[in-house]
Amino acid sequence: MGFFDNIKKFKDRIAEVESTVYSGNQSLLKVYERNAKLEAEIAQRTKELDRANKQMLTLQHIWSMMNSSEPLSSVLNAIVNSLQGELGYVYSFIIKPRIENNDSYIQIVASSREDFAQKFAKHFRCKLSDYKMRYPGLEELRQAVINNTIYQSPNIAKLVHGFIPELEEDNLNAFFNDTNMNSYILIPLVSKNVHFGSLIVFSSRENATDNELNFLGLFAKQIELAITITDLFQAVKEQAITDSMTGLYNRRYFEEFIKKEAVRANRQNQKFTVIGLDLDKLKQINDVYGHNYGDIAIKAVAEVLKNNARSIDVAARMGGEEFNLILPGVDSDGGMIAAERIRKAINSVKLDKIDKISASIGVATYMEHTEDVDELLEITDQAMYESKRSGRNRVTLAKPAYETSWQEIAIEAFVDILKKHRIPIDNNVSNNMMKKLQEMNINNEKLYQVADSIVSIYNPEHQIGNVKQKVDLASLIGKRFDLSKESIDKLKIAILLYDIGNTMLPKDILNKKEPLTDTDKESIKQHPIIAAREILKPITNITDIIPIIEKHHENWNGTGYPNKISGSDIPIESQIILIIDSYFALTENRPYRDAKSPEEAIKIIAQETNKKWSEKLAREFIDIVKSELI
C-alpha cells in the first residue's frame, strides 16, 4: 500500500471517528433534553401534588369543623380562612342576600384576612361596615347564581363597584394594587335546594386552571354540607331545650337557667321574679272540644307569653298547661304588674269554638320571699294554685317562705325520730343525719337527702333522688284533685314519712328473693300501723299526718290493708301515696325481680284501675307521668 493510500485510509478512519463522536453528541443532547423535560415535569407534578395535599388538608379541616358543633359563623369563618392560609388566595368571603323592610342587600357572613378591612379603611377613609352593600347588578353573576355555575373574571373593579357604587375608581385601583388582587372567582352556594349565598375568592393570578376551578366546586360542596350539618346541630340543640308544641323553653332548660340566675342575682344583689301560670279548665276544653283544641289553647297562652316577655326574660312550658316566666331584675311590684298584663292578654284571646280562655297566676320574688330556688318555685306554685282555688283568672302574690312551714314540720319529725332512736339506725349514721337537718335553712335538698338515706337503710336498691320526685309528683296530683295548700303540705310530709315503718321489719323479709310466706305478708302488712302508731304517734306536730300514712295501703275495691276500707272512705292523700309508691316500687330493682321500665310500670298501673285505685286517679296519674317522660 502506497503512502497516499495510507493517508486516505487514515482520513477515512478520522471521518469514521468524527461520525461516531457526532452521533454520540447527538445522543447525549437527546438525553440531556429528555432529562430537562422530565425534571420540568417532575417539578410541575410536585407542585400539583403539593397543591393537592393542601387541598386535602383544607377539606380535612372543613370536616373537623363540621363535626365540632360550633356555631355556623365560626365554621364558615374557619373555612374561608383555610382558603387564604393553605391555598394562597389573597382574600375570600361568603356573602348572603338579605331582605329587611322590603330592602334587599348583602350580608358578609364569613371573611378572611383582617388586613383587608384595614387596607380598605386606609384607602377609602371609612370602614367597610359603613356601607350597605347591594348585590351587583351584573347579568353574568345573576346567570351564575341561577344556573349554580362558577364564574371567574379579572374585572374586580366592576364587581366591587357593583357592591358599593359610591367608591371612586382611582381609589379602587390603588386598593387593588395594595392588596395584590388580579381576579376573582364566584361560586354559588346551595343549601337544601335553596340559594344560600356565594363564596367569592380574590386571587393574585389573572386566570384559574381547570383543576383549581374543579377544586373550588368541590370546596363549595363541602361548605354547603357544613351549612346543612351546622343547621342540624342547631336544630338538635334547640330541640333539647325547647318545647316542641309551643316553641318556649322546656322544664330542663328553665331549671338550669334559674340556678344560674340565682347566682347572678346574689353576685349583683339584684332581685328577680318568677311568674307561674296555669291554663284554667284545660281538662274541660279537652273533654268538650277535643285535645286538638286543648293544644290550640296551650299554644295561645305561649304566644301571649312570647309577646309580653322582654328579650332578657325566659318563658318556659313546665309541662301540661303549666308555664313559668323569669323576669331578671324585677321586684314583686313589677312582677305583679307584668302578671296582671299577661292575665288580661290571655283573657282577651278569642279562639274558635272555645271563645275565651283564662289563666291562674302566682308571683314570687327571689330575695323578697326566699333565697332558695326550690322554695321560690314552690311558693310561686302555691300562689298560682291559690288563684285557682279563689275562682281562677286572677293573680296572687306568694307568701314569704317563712310562712310556709311544711318543711320545718318534716325536719322536726325527722330530728325527733333520729334523736329518740325511734328506728334502728347506727348512732354515727343517725348523728350525721341530724347534723344535716340542723344545718338546714329550710333547704329542700338536704331534707330529701336525709329521707333518701333512711329509705336506703331498708331498701338498698332505692334510687337517690326518688323521694324528691315523689313529693313533686304528689303535689301535681293534689292540684288535679283541687286539694288545698294545707292538704298538699300534709301530703308532702306524709310522702317523706309513709314508709318509715319498713325500718322496723326484719331485713330477711325485705331482702327475700323467693316468694313470701303468709307470715311474711302479715308482717309487711303491719308496717303502716308501725309507722303511724309506734314511730310517728308520739310526735305531736304531725298527728294529722298519721291517718294518711296508716291508710296508704288501702285499695279502692276494699282488698287492701290494714282495715280493708274502700272507695271514698280512703283519704285522697292516702290514695295518692299508694299509686306513687306502687309506681316507684315497680321502677326500682327488688331482690325477687328486675326494675320495670316506666312504660311497663304505667301499663301495670292501668291494669289495676278500679282495683287498687279509682279510674280518675289512674287517669290523672298516668297523664302526669307521661308528660314528665316526654
C-alpha cell belonging to residue 479: 292540684
Q: What are phi and psi of 187, to 5 degrees?
A: -125, 110
Residues near 217 by Cβ (< 8 Å), separated by ≥ 6? 150, 187
Write down the residue that cell numbers 394594587 correspond to. Answer: 177
Q: What are phi and psi of 574, to 5 degrees?
A: -65, -40
CA distances for 335 relative to 253, 360, 393, angstroms: 21, 15, 16
Q: What are phi and psi of 408, to 5 degrees?
A: -65, -40
How many whole angstroms separate alpha carbon 552 and alpha carbon 575? 6
> Taking a C-beta distance cutoff of 8 angstroms, is the pair 134, 163 a contact?
yes
C-alpha cell belonging to residue 245: 308544641
512 burial (CB, 10 Å; 0-12 / 13-18 / 19+) is middle
How many whole angstroms separate alpha carbon 604 and alpha carbon 525? 21
> Taking a C-beta distance cutoff of 8 angstroms, is the pair 494, 511 a contact?
no
C-alpha cell belonging to residue 421: 332512736
Find how far residue 530's CA is from the centre of its chain: 46
Closest C-alpha among 83, 88, 86, 64 to residue 75:
64
- Cα dihedral 373, 379, 382, 383 sign: negative
Residue 539, CB-side half-sphere exposure with 13 Å CA sphere: 26
| DSSP-derived 3-state class of residue 354 | coil
C-alpha cell belonging to residue 82: 383555610
Q: What are phi and psi of 104, to 5 degrees?
A: -95, 140
C-alpha cell belonging to residue 378: 314552690
Residue type, 595: A
Peptide bond into 538 cis (omega under 30): no
Closest C-alpha among 580, 628, 583, 623 to residue 601:
583
Catalytic (active site) residue 554? no
C-alpha cell belonging to residue 308: 309580653
Q: β-pairing, 355-356 with 350-351? A: antiparallel
If phi > 0 it is left, if psi is from -120 to 50 it is alpha, else beta; for residue 450 that is alpha
Closest C-alpha among 226, 227, 156 to residue 185:
156
Find how far residue 13's CA is from the centre of its chain: 97
627 burial (CB, 10 Å; 0-12 / 13-18 / 19+) is middle
Bridge partners (DSSP) listed for residue 104: 99
Within 10 angstroms of residue 101's Cβ, the number of other Cβ atoms is 4
How many whole angstroms separate alpha carbon 459 and alpha carbon 513? 13
Among the listed residues 39, 238, 255, 321, the single catalytic one is 321
C-alpha cell belonging to residue 601: 310500670
User: Side by side, which strands form the sheet with 314-319?
Assistant: 314-319, 322-328, 272-279, 359-366, 395-397
> Taking a C-beta distance cutoff of 8 angstroms, is the pair 422, 414 a contact?
no
Residues in the chain: 630
Residues with active-site annotation: 321
